[in-house]
Amino acid sequence: MERQEALTIVKKQLTEHRYQHTIGVMETAIKLAEQYGADVKKAELAAIFHDYAKYRPKEEMKRIILEQNMPNDLLSYNAELWHAPVGAYLVKTEVGIEDEDILNAIRYHTSGRANMTLLEKIIYLADYIEPGRIFPGVDEVRDLAKHDLNKALTKALQNTIQFLLKKDQPIYPDTIHTYNSLIMEVKGESQS
């Protein structure tokens, strides 16, 4: 699928603000893919469709999570997490994208997971650091992303976890697993 066709499809699903965010994520993902040697076309498509389900009604997302046997524990955590796995499902069923690399990058862009692929890391990070994002710590992560993808991702996860802790919010287990996996990966890299 070509970029313009994908953008036309996704624009119908998003607010104008979220569409501009999506453009920023796409451009950032392309740069990161080029820099770190990932498939640029897959990064582009995953970025374009990463928020495809963002504005679906919560009841629809809940129904899809239950009907498609997605992890039920999702329903016990913040509904902000739901649009990622539901989005992967809808991008496959409504848009017809069947590439599991792209679908997984969409599926895990909010929670992460242990042993993320390069593409998954790029979409997670592009969503976090795209130029429209303005919050404490984002500039440090942007700087890290210029030199070390894993360190940038680790810092993004630290910031997210600290933010949730300060708000007395529960932390989805996959996010903790992502952090632990990255710490082990970074330590392994520094020991070799």
Q: Where are the domains of the chain?
A: 3-135
pLDDT in the model for residue 54: 97
Name the token pair of 52. Answer: 């495809």
Could you report the average pLDDT of every consecutive run of 10 residues in the chain (192 residues)? Answer: 97 97 98 98 98 97 95 90 97 98 98 97 98 96 97 96 95 96 84 57
pLDDT in the model for residue 185: 87
To the nearest 10 degrees (0 to 180), the angle between helices 40-49 and 118-129 is: 50
CATH topology (fold) of 3-135: Hypothetical protein af1432 (1.10.3210)
To the nearest 10 degrees (0 to 180), the angle between helices 100-107 and 118-129 is: 40
pLDDT in the model for residue 190: 63
Name the token pair of 115. Answer: 């042993």
pLDDT in the model for residue 192: 52
pTM: 0.95
pLDDT in the model for residue 188: 80
> Are the CB atoms for 117 and 136 separated by under 8 Å?
no
